[in-house]
Amino acid sequence: MEMTQTPQTPIYTAPPGYFRRLGALDWLYAAALLGGALFALQRYGAYMDIYEKAILLLSAPTFAWLGWHWKQVRWLMVVLAVLALSAIAQYDGSLPAADTRFFLKYALSSQSAILWMSTLFFLSTLFYWGGLVTRSDTGGVIGSKLCWAAVVLGFTGMLVRWYESYLVGADVGHIPISNLYEVFILFSLITALFYLYYEEQYETLQLGPFVMLVISAAVGFLLWYTVSREAAEIQPLVPALQSWWMKIHVPANFIGYGTFALAAMVAIAYLLKSRGLLVDRLPALEVLDDVMYKAIAVGFAFFTIATILGALWAAEAWGGYWSWDPKETWALIVWLNYAAWLHMRLMKGLRGQVAAWWALVGLLVTTFAFLGVNMFLSGLHSYGAL
């Protein structure tokens, strides 16, 4: 007599929780960040107010989460720590060492590192375009590695410049995001980092040629500004910028600017492909559309935060949350533009060439808010004038 087996219903097993998926290296990385933050607090806490201490301590879990989510951040943090601390040790507390020590003069003083960053970004652009034109992944791979090298040296230069500002004078020292020279470096680095993240997530090298164009344009302006205005010289902060608000408002703002610029360059690729150009060399239209949407969504979130922080800062510095200063007015225009773009996409299904053209026009609006206001208009933000 045959026995029939009743099929068993498979038992559903829920995936492990987020923290249970983390391994020993993940926790070691987080512990190292926390240790570094506590060391900095112990050594420099006497020079910080309560808000700056909070920013320092919150940076540890923030960068820990980034490193857990995107593994590349781990080695980036380690390399930056090694290079920046090695450079700082060479100074021996004396700024003139930057002109006498070989390691500093030709590699890792702030100006040298930023010049290397600029050169590497230009070379990265050439290799990305060479790979696209010749249909070779080799050019894109080399371009990607050069872009990573530029990011490393750029952030190293910024960290060393931060230290150099304190060597100029204890009352001069400040985080290097206070003038056009410094924020153009920040813009280039943020745009490059977000691009490299999307490059890895979507496993494509074909967006590099387009995104690197806007980065190279920023670097070109940076070099012109450096030569024509001697902008690399470290200057004391104007009174309006002597606030801890600057440490969070400016980075949040430039995450918005960087991702909006990235979205616009992806929009150019979208428009070319949708018109039958470079069809076999660019990612699918769906991929381009998705990158464009995610970049704008991230940028809008951070730009919103930056605008709110800016209003709070204005209330402290000038006695009012909003004064219709030209910079504030154009920031509102930028915000409304991308709020409308996201509304149309989420509520009305905005896609295709209209969305791409809108994102491209958005870059022109953003550029005027970022740079044009400084060139042609005056107001409470006139300390950022060209």
DSSP-derived secondary structure for 274-292 = HTTSSTTTS--HHHHHHHH
* Residue ranges covered by each domain of the chain: 24-69, 74-190+208-233, 245-386
Structure tokens of 101?
């020590």
- Taking residue 89's Cβ as centre, other Cβ atoms within 10 Å add up to 9
Structure tokens of 155?
């952030």
Cα 51 versus chain centre, distance = 23
pLDDT for 21: 83
pLDDT for 1: 47
pLDDT for 168: 93
pLDDT for 43: 86
Distances (CA, A) of 236 to 112, 175, 202, 239: 21, 11, 43, 9
Q: What are residue 211's phi and psi, to 5 degrees?
A: -65, -40
pLDDT for 42: 92
- For the entire predicted model, the pTM comes to 0.92
pLDDT for 13: 54
pLDDT for 14: 47
Say which residue the tokens 């004064």 belong to.
323
CA dihedral angle for residue 250, residue 256, residue 259, residue 264, rounded to 10 degrees: -120
Regions in the chain scoring below 70 on pLDDT: 1-17, 377-386
pLDDT for 9: 56
Residues 6 or more apart whose Cβ sits within 8 Å of residue 130: 136, 139, 143
pLDDT for 385: 56
Cα 89 versus chain centre, distance = 27
Separation CA 119–CA 223 (nearest Å)? 10
pLDDT for 381: 59
Distances (CA, A) of 192 to 10, 16, 23, 120, 322: 46, 33, 29, 12, 32
pLDDT for 380: 57
Separation CA 77–CA 88 (nearest Å)? 16
Separation CA 386–CA 379 (nearest Å)? 13
Report helix, strand or coil for 319: coil
Q: Which of 238, 243, 237, 236 is nearest to 49 (CA)?
A: 243
pLDDT for 238: 84
Rg (CA), the chain: 23
Residues 6 or more apart whose Cβ sits within 8 Å of residue 240: 317, 318, 380, 383
Question: For 17, which DSSP code?
Answer: P
Separation CA 342–CA 40 (nearest Å)? 40
Distances (CA, A) of 131 to 128, 188, 202, 262: 5, 22, 18, 20
